[in-house]
Amino acid sequence: MDLRLAPQAVAMSSAEFLSWSGEVIDQLMRYSGAKKAVDKLTAPIWSWAIRNATVPLHFGIACCALEMAAASGPRFDAERLGMIYRSSPRQCEVLLVNGWVTAKLRPDLRRLYEQMAEPRWVVAMGECAISGGPWYDSHNTIQGVDTFIPVDVYIPGCPPRPEAMIDGFMKLHKKINKEMKGTFLND
Amino acid sequence: MERIGLAPGGKTGEVLAQDIAQRFPQGVAVAKSTNNRLYAKVDRSVLVSLCTYMRDALDFEHVTCVGGVDWLEQGKMQVVYHITSYANKVTAELVVDLPRDKPEVDSITFLWGGANWHERETWDMFGIVFVGHPKLERLLNPAGTEVFPFRKDFVTGRRV
């Protein structure tokens, strides 16, 4: 918008007004310290809420998915810790990779990760997802999920027991608690 | 020998083996036949006519499995067909020898549609060409793979 061309009237389109006002409010909150205060006040609340709703994507690849199923069964009942499986990546916080990732699966898994909304975490479960595992010299298996997706928590085991999986999610809870993201998820 | 559970009008493996040996004196060598099994080595030139006869006259309705074997030292490849008859309760195992430098065999997909993906996978892993197959493309490996991983001279190792 060039103001010299219309010196008498300051005319803005609605999109221009929205971006201008958003910038003003953002800077006002940043420099007055209100942003920091809001973050500090809301961070424990959001952290508590996210910790109690670490919803993993229901995406079972291999035999670790059986442990995932056992963990959500009545004996271990992972649902009491917020692990309710959803089938859409839009509704999920955690991408639980449980099994080998073939070269054919890699672009789709990457796409699922990118479809998930922030904040999001990735848990690599089992040897195959961590480092290729028994398929260390396979022609078609990706040697670890962290070669193409940033991974937060590794759960070792072949396959890990449901307790180990729940323990991995407790580690993830600690990480979420430590990051303490407030209403403004950036900085 | 009294056959337990034989369907009415069903034939045992021995009877079917005699029938096949009589019908195809050239190109089919029945190695062994038992009550509910039939093992035969088949020349690749008579495979399609044998399979057509088995489907139309001997009530073999179903291809259970098609697989490959790579014999590197002997310089040959094998395709193994498991063809099952529900009416006779007999599974026939047909083995076709192919030269390793030109592994080509006629497709039997037009007889049994169930052979489609089995043959496709065998080509995908061994590079055995099934002539006349409707869609001989990569199945388990991603498109664009240039190797045949199940061949014995394939060097394993990290590729991706």
Distance CA A176, CA A181 (A): 8
Whether residue B26 is contained in a domain is answered as yes
Least confidently predicted of A33-42, A45-54, A162-171: A33-42
Q: Report whether pLDDT(A167) > 90.
A: yes
| String of DSSP letters for chain A | --GGG-SS-----HHHHHHHHHHHHHHHHHHHTHHHHHHHHHHHHHHHHHHTT--BB--B-STHHHHHHHHTSTTT-GGGGT---BS-GGG-SEEEEES--BTTTHHHHHHHHHHSPSS-EEEEESHHHHH-GGGTT-SSB-S-GGGTS--SEEE-SSSPPHHHHHHHHHHHHHHHHHH---SS---
Q: What is the pLDDT of residues B30-76, one digit of tens each?
A: 888 888 899 999 999 999 999 999 999 888 999 999 999 999 999 99
Instruction: Identify whether B83 is part of a domain.
Output: yes
Domain that holds residue B46: 13-131
Cβ <8 Å between A139 and B154: yes
Question: Domain containing A173: what range?
Answer: 54-179
Asked if A171 and A153 touch (Cβ cutoff 8 Å), the reply is yes
Average pLDDT for residues A26-32, to the nearest whole number?
85
Confidence of residue B143 (pLDDT cuts 50, 70, 90): confident
**Residue A8 pLDDT:** 53
Domain assignment present for residue A84? The answer is: yes
Tell me whether residue B154 is in a domain. no
pLDDT value of residue B4: 57
Q: Which residue of B has its CA nearest to A131?
A: B158
pLDDT at A175 over 80: yes
User: How far apart, in whole angstroms, are the C-alpha atoms of residue B155 and residue B147?
Assistant: 10
In a domain, A60, yes or no: yes
Judge whether A132 lies within some domain: yes
Q: Quick check: is A41 in a domain?
A: no
B80: left (phi over 0), alpha (psi -120 to 50) or beta: beta
Q: Mean pLDDT of all residues in chain B?
A: 89
pLDDT averaged over every residue in chain A: 87
The answer to whether residue B104 sits within a structural domain is yes
- Quick check: A30 pLDDT over 90? no
ipTM rounded to 2 decimals: 0.70
Query: Does some domain include residue A128?
Result: yes
Is residue A5 in some structural domain? no
Using CB atoms, which residue from B149, B154, B160 is nearest to A142? B160
Number of domain units in chain B = 1
Classify residue B140: in a domain, yes or no. Answer: no
pTM: 0.76
Domain-embedded: residue B142: no
Residue of higher predicted confidence among B2 and B144: B144
Q: What is the CATH number of the domain that holds A139?
A: 3.40.50.12280
**Would an 8 Å CB–CB cutoff place B147 in contact with chain A?**
yes
Query: Mean of the pLDDT values across residues A17-27?
Result: 87
Cβ contact (<8 Å) for B158 and A136?
yes
Contact A143 B147 (CB under 8 A): no
In this structure, what are the phi and psi dihedrals at residue A133, rounded to the nearest 5 degrees? 60, -130
| pLDDT > 90? residue B94 | yes
What CATH number is given to the structural domain containing B41?
3.30.460.80
Is A149 within a domain? yes
- For A75-105, the pLDDT digits (tens) are 999 888 889 999 999 999 999 999 999 989 9
- Looking at the 3D structure of chain A, how many domains does it have? 1
Assigned domain for B157 exists: no
Tell me whether residue A45 is in a domain: no
CB contact under 8 A, A140 and B159: yes
* A·B CB contacts under 8 A: 31
